[in-house]
Structure 1
């Protein structure tokens, strides 16, 4: 029936102060609930004039489809999950903001699931999360993304996923590559260009593939320029501020300290700053420091930290965009987010 005849019914609905339901839309527009659902989900099986009539009504009454309710009707939700196990809070926040950038304006929402990949039951926990929420797909963030058993489980239950990792681990359409090895190599080349030869490395935890890639890229770049890094100049830490402090104490409080340190992330670099300040070591006059991530922390430290930018927000945006592409149609190729060095004030040539 014409919408103008429904003016009183619409006014009555609005006066109640309650949100309109899909049943209200179907009744007022004179179509079936199934037709309304098809319009909401952009089905091509609806005539143009019917679609325009129903969409006009939805705008008039302020009807917004509920993502979870839509999913239940179609045996799936319009929810994208993000599974992560990462000790760096800023990294996780930037990744979430990137995913939200991609989902904004779409029908999808983001739900997050922190986990402990060292727990023997964590994969079962992720499985329950996926099945209870009826997720459309999952973004796997390092270090969870590096666990093949987790990827295999998602494949088995038929859940789409995108893996973020420092090198290819899966089908190209399911990967976002961050090229951590290249970023670390650029940091090494920069320190060498300044004239540093006694260089130390504070790595991330060995359980993280990113730590292996950054370590390998840094050591390989030094080797290519004829510099071998002694074992005593390599300290494993945990990607946290506290672990950076502990590692820096081993390197800076002895008799022979390095002239430069590369850390596997900015949090650990901040720990080096603290130890240097306590020991009266001037940055960058007596000690040059390069971090990794180029988090907001890098520009807030004093002197500001030279760091490898890896565009975490862009990474999250790309991963989410890959998931909401229709399956089998215009599938996105393997994506790359290239790191590059941001030079600030924490480095200079070594003293004679």
Structure 2
């Protein structure tokens, strides 16, 4: 990296003005393709690295985006972060993260203090913050552009992304039924997360379609954590009428179910089929590897960032919302019911 190369040298080599170089680097519209090619060629030849802070001073921008999150699943957040960072870097933006607790009664003031002390051009909200009306009002009052990931409500005039959780949970439940399972335990996610209700709705939809009785004893409330998966599994497997399959609303909880099954000397999948959701790394790091739903988490972070940068630049996007399909990933933790 040659840190001494200046924007004037790039302009001189490209045979264009400094202003034209700046417009190309900032991906501004209405720059002729031939000019873009000249500037990009000069940037590559000189290995020029734009200085985000310097760019920000000239354009009253920071070229910094903030990812706000309150989520107990570290694998999920890491994938969102990686997707957001990849897209931000491609468009000349840095990403900073700010973890917070959505249950904290002072959360709005905490975030307000952070925003005042750490300027940024825009904010990415993950669930459940993406449905926090006070937080959204704060951002709008401060005129800070934002995008939301997997919100339950879409009434705000802001771009958002998500996946079709209800259909994915329906598909997974339908798959378990196709294996002959009718006593299917279900572990809900955190009650404050919008995708919890969507996944539960998909589970119920499949049972109803196949005329399988919805047994409330087979439904437990989890928190998207490994420990809550353990607790729910112990409750389900301590019952006289045990499930032959357990569908957990994320992979962390499914891994907790797997641990308890081992402690109870239950063979997986011979004695118990286990399914998870998200296709995070933990689903492949345990044995047997967990059958799960592959949610495009990296893509959600990437497209949310893309939409946010469009909003910052006051460009338009094709759709205010982008909803992506999920897919089933069949692994070793599921098999035909033998009961």
Q: Does 1:330 align with 2:319?
A: no
After the TM superposition, which of the residue ranges 212-221 and 124-133 deviates more from structure 2?
124-133
Please name the residue that 2:120 is paired with. Answer: 135
Please name the residue that 2:148 is paired with. Answer: 163
Q: Distance in 2 between matches of 1:134 and 1:65?
A: 19
Could you tell me how far 1:111 is from its partner in structure 2? 0.8
Please name the residue that 1:6 is paired with. Answer: none
Stretches of structure 2 that go unaligned for 5 or more consecutive residues are none
Q: Distance in 2 between matches of 1:129 and 1:273?
A: 40
CA-atom RMSD, angstroms?
3.3
Q: Does 1:349 align with 2:336?
A: yes
Could you tell me how far 1:64 is from its partner in structure 2? 3.3
Q: 1:349 to 1:48 in 2, by over 3 A?
A: closer
**8 Å contact kept, 1:25–1:54:** yes
After the TM superposition, which of the residue ranges 115-124 and 279-288 deviates more from structure 2?
115-124
Q: Does 1:340 align with 2:327?
A: yes
After the TM superposition, which of the residue ranges 319-328 and 335-344 deviates more from structure 2?
319-328
**8 Å contact kept, 1:166–1:213:** no
SS of 2:277's equivalent in the other structure is strand
Q: Distance in 1 between matches of 2:229 and 2:271?
A: 18
Could you tell me how far 1:289 is from its partner in structure 2? 0.9
Q: Does 1:295 align with 2:290?
A: no
Q: Distance in 2 between matches of 1:47 and 1:175?
A: 31
Q: Distance in 1 between matches of 2:24 and 2:165?
A: 44
Q: Distance in 1 between matches of 2:162 and 2:3?
A: 46
Higher-Rg member (1/2): 1
Could you tell me how far 1:350 is from its partner in structure 2? 1.5
Q: Distance in 2 between matches of 1:39 and 1:222?
A: 55
Residue 193 (structure 2) aligned to one of 199, 204, 208: 208
Could you tell me how far 1:201 is from its partner in structure 2? 0.7
**8 Å contact kept, 1:196–1:349:** yes
- Using structure 1 for the length normalisation, give the TM-score: 0.83
Please name the residue that 1:12 is paired with. Answer: none
Please name the residue that 2:182 is paired with. Answer: 197
Stretches of structure 1 that go unaligned for 5 or more consecutive residues are 1-16
Could you tell me how far 1:38 is from its partner in structure 2? 6.2
Q: 1:192 to 1:172 in 2, by over 3 A?
A: farther
Please name the residue that 2:234 is paired with. Answer: 249
Superposed, which structure 2 residues align to 1:249-328 within 5 Å? 249-325=234-310, 327-328=313-314
Q: Distance in 2 between matches of 1:59 and 1:291?
A: 45
**8 Å contact kept, 2:230–2:253:** yes
Superposed, which structure 2 residues align to 1:1-352 within 5 Å? 19=4, 41=26, 64-165=49-150, 167=152, 169-170=154-155, 174-325=159-310, 327-333=313-319, 334-352=321-339
What is the aligned length?
337
Q: 1:73 to 1:122 in 2, by over 3 A?
A: farther
SS of 1:293's equivalent in the other structure is coil
1:15-69 deviation line (CA, Å, top 9, x unaligned): xx9856779999xxxx999898667546789999999999999878765332133
Could you tell me how far 1:237 is from its partner in structure 2? 1.2
Please name the residue that 1:4 is paired with. Answer: none
